[in-house]
A and B are shown apart, each in its own frame.
Chain A
Amino acid sequence: MIFGLPVISVAIWLPIIFGILVLATGDDKNAPLARILALVGSTLGFLVTIPLYTGFVRDTSEMQFVELHDWIARFNIHYHLGVDGISVLFILLTAFFTPLVVLAGWQVIEKRVAQYMASFLIMSGIMIGVFAALDSILFYVFWEAMLIPMFLIIGIWGGKNRVYAAVKFFLYTLLGSLLMLVALIYLYNQSGGSFAILDFHKVELPMTAQILIFIAFFFAFAVKVPMFPVHTWLPDAHVEAPTGGSVVLAAIMLKVGAYGFLRFSMPITPDASHQLSGVMIALSLIAVVYIGLVALMQTDMKKLVAYSSISHMGFVTLGFFIFNAYGMEGALLQMISHGFVSGALFLCIGVLYDRMHSRNIADYGGVANTMPVFAAFFMLFAMANVGLPGTSGFVGEFMVVLGAVKVNFWYAFAAATTLIFGAAYTLWMYKRVIFGAVANHHVAELTDLTLREKVIFAILAVTVLGMGLYPLPFSEIMHVSVNDLLVHVARSKLPL
């Protein structure tokens, strides 16, 4: 409780209310006010989530901070919120990134400032709602609502091809979600008239039904992750999105899909999950290897990092579907780390783009000469992307590889190629952009980071290193929930 108000509701609605207030500041004459209001709102939004971590009881997998109210009584739909060890960290991650995104767009966004800031605040609240919803219809509403601000962010503040990218993004993800709605309604009937996700977990289902439901959920979640072969919207969306949009997309929105697998697919259809795990593992490994290779030849920095994201998310789905503790905890840690690292990398590219208005690797070279501080930060985040021990990027990959060896050595073999490919595409890009003699007069005129940018990067650097050197605080909170999930998934739900 915060001032007598339930914590999760505050975490969801406070940024949304601030978002509406920011909108109310109107046109760009009031832009400074809109910015300050957005920063205050997003910072408060992060602070109110902290009790979720500090007050979290670690030795239970029960839902905590639960809120339950009637919503649409006719269909037994509730306003039902709560967190467990799996979801709680993502709420913090979401709230953590909002102030950074607001800061990152501080000077760069000059048009429709209020709407821009408001979109991020509102989206932040909605995404927290996705992670906290325990009623599947509430989940679905948040899930779909999340698309709207992102669609606007790409479509309004995006690059040249923004409309194509925005529509592609919207249709891709919408089509995926519709099948999920069908599955939810089917489960409503099977569970005897409940939309509660935890009730779905208990429903016995024959194999055919499980497989169909798994496939329905798969389309919704795989598109978001994104998994191969439904990943092609991501590079386009990233390239066209403004920096802040890319950050949220990579850091949070991709995690929503992976989270769906844990909250819906695996516990609701455990038998189908086992049955189809071979396919899921194959798709994950294709993502790691194939996408890792594709990333190598990208000429656009954002596209490169976008492909790198897909490749890293391959580790997440691989970790889930090998069904052991190393894999699953590794995957969750990878999700959090990938949030920090990909967010940081998109911010780095944003810093360059703001100055040079180009994302093209070939337009750069020798940036270290004019931006040494930036080069140092970029090096750290690049190394985190490469999965260097001591950075957060190492933890998840290491654990997932260890988990994969347990299941099948060759899975680990394929996954571990990221050690080479990841280093190749990341550091080759770094070399061409940052190292070398000053490439042209644009690079010669670059100015190093401003104080505002330094603050953003310093916060992320501390987080990335902190998580790399001491991941225990991140993992112990999820420990019991993950073990319980593994036990649950190991139990058959086929009717006897």
Chain B
Amino acid sequence: MTMQNLYLLVPLAPLVGAIAAGLFGKCLGRAWSHRITIALVAVSFFASLAIFNDVLAGHVFNGPVYTWLISGDTSFQVGFLIDRLTVMMMLVVTFVSLMVHIYTIGYMEEDDGYQRFFSYISLFTFSMLMLVMANNFMQLFFGWEAVGLVSYLLIGFWYKKDTAIYANLKAFLVNRVGDFGFLLGIGLVLMVFGTLDYAAVFANAASHAGDMAPIPGVSWNLMTAICILLFIGAMGKSAQFPLHVWLPDSMEGPTPISALIHAATMVTAGIFMVARMSPLFELSDTALSFVMVIGAITALFMGFLGIIQNDIKRVVAYSTLSQLGYMTVALGASAYSVAIFHLMTHAFFKALLFLAAGSVIIAMHHNQDIRYMGGLRKYMPITWITSLIGSLALIGTPFFSGFYSKDSIIEAVALSHLPGSDFAYFAVVAGVFVTAFYSFRMYFLVFHGKERYDEAPHDGHHSADAGHAADAHAHPSTSSGQADAHDDHGHHAGKPHETPWVVTLPLILLAIPSVLIGYIAIEPMLYGSYFGDAIFISENHHTMSELREEFHGAFAMALHSLTTLPLWLAIAGVASAAFFYLKRPDIPAAIQKRFGFIYHLLDNKYYFDRFNDWFFAGGARGASGLLWKFGDVKLIDGLMVNGTAKLVGMFSGVMRRIQSGYIYHYAFSMIIGVFVLLTVRTWFE
């Protein structure tokens, strides 16, 4: 098989799986649907591995697959760019996807939409692969929107749940706001460069560095305008402040997709995109500063929200937001390879944390409230250990994967001199404490302490606590859509127990890279030549070169961390979580009472949702009603159209009188007419 065919095989195999399970799921049955999709995603993974080897041997591919459209002199193509950045993303996507596919067998076991779910996640894998493999902006936008579509379908997978279909609409619309900027950015690229091909655009980027943007009425630098517009797209997809609002709500979807889409892959598309566009972003310090500040705000302030969440998935979701902020900060500091490195380690440990959370949720019979868990380590040893590994990796414990990537980000930001880097440094360092605190708060509440799973309010697992609707209707097994079907796998069915192997196996397989990948990969990825030409760093930005000077091997880096602030902040975070939630659980409650104002601010997510609902959603509906009722109905139809009709009616009403039908009327008017004509004639002569 030639390499080109192998490239095609990677995205097409999951697509075939998606079509098979989607269109013929009923004939195939459950078992064959998952067998086929899993086998095909595995094919995709192994093909990616083969490509990885080939790329390591120095082969880069950039070529078209087919011509999509020709307009004017521009040819729009679907094509692949297979370089080191691409192939790494391909590996991450296909590996996590494979794990999630296997896990789904256990998680969705009782669900009516089993085949549909497999179809969607395979379709997602296809879309995400097309996104990362693109060699041009058009295809990038294709994949970009396609993953958004599948995310929409999957968040609303349980379409009977009001919260789910609210969340998926919200996710789609917020993402569309991002895409709005993204599309305009692409438009500017095409206008300036006359092509959408990456290679051609990047090659000519430097020659346009000083240009003004062709935007009438404003005087912006071209690259700044392009980069910020593109980054608005990334803000939507990678849930950066203030377009982050959709991600926590996306937890309404089944847990496997939270792991795959809303933690490991899709939400990192924005990070990937900016890294891919490094030849453009490097030309605008303004854009980089903007990126860094947005990332820093997200990293710190979204972390705070994780502290007060009680829904296990939402804690992980806010943690994801915060970590995406870290990656974005790294991008802003010109440390693209560090951002991608963190993207990779995060994909493993965050997918692990989500899937472990799902395992807990299964054991808790779909109760997601961590206040009613506790002590699960005895009953679920595999889930417990793997969760601990994931949490340790997340908070940056030395030698764990997350340590290497996160510490590198902090170091890189420290070295950056762009405006905003001081704030960003503060945010990412303070974020370490916050991360450690909320991670271990959750960990202790779930796996240690008193066993509280019997204390859940009787109906608790149906509506969790106010505003944080849980996966309550996880198994809409009756077609009538009522949730009562739950009680048959009841709430008090005895002690929790470990989940089946299809669930725990992916946990174990994800735990391995969560521990090891950082130690192995940091040297080649950040300081070696791994990325080669795939990432471009301007000579004016010294972050990476300075970082390289300070690096003396992975082992030394871990030892050195003992003398730095972040590690001690992490330890402090874990210790305070232990103190507050194991030793003195009364204190958090007291604090919550004492600082009610802050608690409410956090509980309402800084009031963003309310503001958006009121201002944007409400405003649009109000404007719509107004324009319709006054513009269309009153002004155009009422005044102009029907008004004209009335005017014609009135006019003809008058004219009708003249046509009386009496001969003497007509004779009289004829005489008058003759008289007038004669007068006029004599007058002029």
**Chain A contact residues, CB within 8 Å of chain B:** 168, 171-172, 229, 231-233, 235, 290, 293-298, 324-326, 329-330, 366, 368-369, 379, 383, 388-390, 394-395, 398-399, 401-402, 404-406, 408-410, 412-413, 416-417, 419-421, 423-424, 427-428, 431, 434-438, 469-472, 475-476, 479, 483
Contacts and interface: CB of A to CB of B under 8 A. Distances in A.
B179 A290 contact: no
A406 B71 contact: no
A297 B215 contact: no
B214 A409 contact: yes
28 contacts: A231-B636, A232-B641, A290-B627, A290-B631, A293-B620, A294-B624, A296-B621, A297-B628, A326-B74, A369-B479, A389-B142, A389-B146, A390-B145, A395-B69, A399-B69, A401-B184, A402-B186, A409-B215, A410-B217, A413-B184, A416-B180, A424-B173, A434-B159, A435-B160, A437-B481, A471-B68, A472-B68, A475-B71
Nearest to A292: B624
A229 B633 CA distance: 12
Nearest to A423: B176
Contacts of B480: 369, 438
Interface in B623-672: 623-625, 627-628, 631-632, 636-637, 640-641, 645
B632 A294 contact: yes
Interface stretch (B187-195, B310-318, B486-494): B187-195
Contacts of B187: 401-402, 404-406, 409, 412
Contacts of A412: 184, 187
A427 B641 CA distance: 32
A229 B627 contact: no
Interface string B607-624: 000000000000011011
Contact of B70 (A298, A369, A469, A476): A476
Contacts of B165: 431, 435-436
Nearest to B175: A423
A16 to B, nearest CB: 33
A436 B159 contact: yes
Given A229-B636, A417-B180, A293 B627 contact: yes
A402 B190 contact: yes
A413 B232 CA distance: 14
A401 B190 CA distance: 11
B179 A419 contact: yes
Nearest to B179: A419
Nearest to A235: B632
Contacts of B159: 368, 434-436
A293 B71 contact: no
Contacts of A233: 641
A331 to B, nearest CB: 11
Interface residues of B, number: 60
Task: Point out which of B156, B172, B625, B637 has the most chain A C-beta atoms below 10 A from its C-beta.
Answer: B172
Given A401-B187, A402-B187, A423 B173 contact: yes
Contact of A427 (B68, B144, B169, B217): B169
Contacts of B632: 232, 235, 294
Main secondary structure of the interface of A (DSSP, over half): helix
A421 B619 CA distance: 13
Given A330-B71, A420-B176, A428-B169, A390 B146 contact: yes
B141 interface: yes
B173 A168 contact: no
Contacts of B215: 409-410
Contacts of B71: 325-326, 329-330, 399, 475, 479
B126 to A, nearest CB: 11
A303 B194 CA distance: 40
Nearest to B481: A437
B162 interface: yes
B216 interface: yes
Contacts of A383: 149
B176 A419 contact: yes
Contact of A409 (B69, B156, B184, B627): B184
Contact of B628 (A294, A401, A423): A294
Contacts of A326: 71-72, 74
A412 B225 CA distance: 14
B70 A472 contact: yes
A368 B149 CA distance: 18
A369 B160 contact: yes
| Ranked 8 nearest A-B pairs via Cβ | A325-B72, A405-B187, A437-B481, A296-B624, A297-B624, A389-B142, A435-B165, A409-B215
Task: Point out which of A168, A171, A389 has the most chain B C-beta atoms below 10 A from its C-beta.
Answer: A389
A413 B218 CA distance: 14
A54 B169 CA distance: 43
A334 B13 CA distance: 31
A463 to B, nearest CB: 16
B24 to A, nearest CB: 13
Contacts of A398: 138, 141, 183
B180 A420 contact: yes
A401 B191 CA distance: 11
Contacts of B179: 419
A419 B180 contact: yes
A168 B66 CA distance: 48
B146 to A, nearest CB: 6
Contact of B627 (A294, A402, A437): A294
A390 B123 CA distance: 13
Interface in B68-98: 68-74
A293 B216 contact: no
Contacts of A434: 159
Nearest to A420: B176
B160 A366 contact: yes
A235 B636 CA distance: 13
B322 to A, nearest CB: 27
Interface string B25-39: 000000000000000
Contacts of B637: 232
B229 to A, nearest CB: 10
Contacts of A294: 624, 627-628, 631-632
Interface in B184-215: 184, 186-188, 190-191, 213-215
A181 to B, nearest CB: 20
A115 to B, nearest CB: 29
B652 to A, nearest CB: 14
B308 interface: no
Contacts of B68: 469-472
B146 A405 contact: no
Nearest to A417: B180
A424 B72 CA distance: 32
A428 B166 CA distance: 9
A475 B72 CA distance: 10
A172 B144 CA distance: 43
B641 A416 contact: no
Nearest to B181: A416
Given A296-B621, A368-B159, A475-B70, A405 B184 contact: yes
Interface in B467-507: 479-482
B177 interface: yes
B67 interface: yes
A469 B76 CA distance: 12
Interface string B150-178: 00110010011010010001001100110
A417 to B, nearest CB: 7
A172 B152 CA distance: 41
Given A369-B160, A383-B149, A409 B180 contact: no
B73 to A, nearest CB: 8
Nearest to B620: A296
Nearest to B78: A469
A435 B160 CA distance: 6
B183 A389 contact: no
Contacts of B176: 419-420, 423
B515 to A, nearest CB: 39
Contacts of A416: 180, 183-184
A171 B636 CA distance: 15
Contacts of B628: 294, 297-298
